Amino acid sequence: MYALIRLEDIGPGGSYESADDQAKLLAVADYLSAMKVPFHAAVIPRFINPERHYDCSMAGTDPISVRFRQMLIDLQKRGASLGIHGYTHQYGNAISGVGYEFYYPGCQQDCPQDDPAEALSSWATIERTYAYNRYQLASKEFQASGIQPEWFETPHYTASDTQRKILEACSCLMYETNPDQPSSRQLSWRSSQSLIGKTYYVPTPLGYIGGDSIDQDIQKMISEAASYGEQDLASFFYHPYLEFDYIQLQQDAPPAYKDNTPLKRIIQQLLDMQRQFVTVKDVMRLNVSLVPQVFT
């Protein structure tokens, strides 16, 4: 009986731009580490806010970039598995973390472009696509930062069928719902042009906590988790800034972190259900008999 938690939309801007905000995020990581809960962080490598003319990347040399990069290293030291969450998680005039990055039907504004199906005919054509370029730009930010990403997640779980196949060719492990099995609570896979001919999907069937309906969402999440079978993954994601109002930074002392916060309530109740927290790589090892070297 396993559980997974992913801290969502962590980028060098927005809710994690200031030193105080980053210190509070590390306080959340310290709590998870103390509880022996391995966790994941979905990293937006480049944060853009057109309204503020703000543009900051994780591999930059400015003070915010340097501080953010060190914070990611500190998260890893506390047990975090880091993954790529798009390149900017936005397009056009949208703000990172809010906007979409890949194509989706029905878009009205700031619409990302799609890639033609013919692009899948060869690696040469794949390498010229928008989706491939975005993945490579994100990957280069990680490489320049000296950080190895372990998985990929599309912003808002959204990409056209062609773009998804391109992204699957780039990443063997997707930490999101499999579009072919949207109700799955377990590890699944899709055939792809990736290094191993498959791309594995680790879903988040428990969803997330909304800022406007915290108590209701927690009750729903825990009730649903209680109905899961032993092979089902009690997997969810959480925006850690929701904890920040419960954390008070102190001079010459560790942050004061209140009890019974939304995140602490969820973690404790899942632990009370005898759920063991694991990483996506643990899920791979537990479910795939011949684990490809890329996951070891």
295 band by pLDDT with thresholds 50, 70 and 90: low
Mean pLDDT across 81-108: 97
> What is the per-residue pLDDT for 211?
82
With pLDDT > 90 as the criterion, what percentage of the chain qualifies?
Answer: 93
- Examine the pLDDT at 294 and tell me if it is beyond 60: no
* Side-chain-facing half-sphere of 33: CA atoms under 13 Å: 14
Taking the C-alpha atoms of residue 203 and residue 136, their distance in angstroms, rounded to an integer, is 24
> What is the per-residue pLDDT for 76?
97
- Examine the pLDDT at 275 and tell me if it is beyond 50: yes
Domains, the chain, in order of start with CATH, read 2-295 (3.20.20.370)
Question: What average pLDDT does the chain have?
Answer: 95
With pLDDT > 70 as the criterion, what percentage of the chain qualifies?
Answer: 97
> What is the per-residue pLDDT for 94?
97
- Examine the pLDDT at 1 and tell me if it is beyond 70: yes
What are 229-273's pLDDT values in tens digits? 999 999 999 999 999 999 999 998 999 999 999 999 999 999 999
Residue 127 token pair:
């390498």
289 band by pLDDT with thresholds 50, 70 and 90: low
What are 121-154's pLDDT values in tens digits? 999 999 999 999 999 999 999 999 999 999 999 9
Instruction: For residue 12, give the DSSP letter.
Output: S
Helices (H) and strands (E) in the chain, counts: 8, 12
pTM, entire model: 0.95
Mean pLDDT across 41-53: 98
> What is the per-residue pLDDT for 286?
86
Residue 149 and residue 83 in contact, taking contact as beta carbons nearer than 8 Å: yes
Residue 40 and residue 82 in contact, taking contact as beta carbons nearer than 8 Å: yes
Q: Tell how far CA 58 is from the center of its chain.
A: 15
211 vs 2, which has greater pLDDT? 2
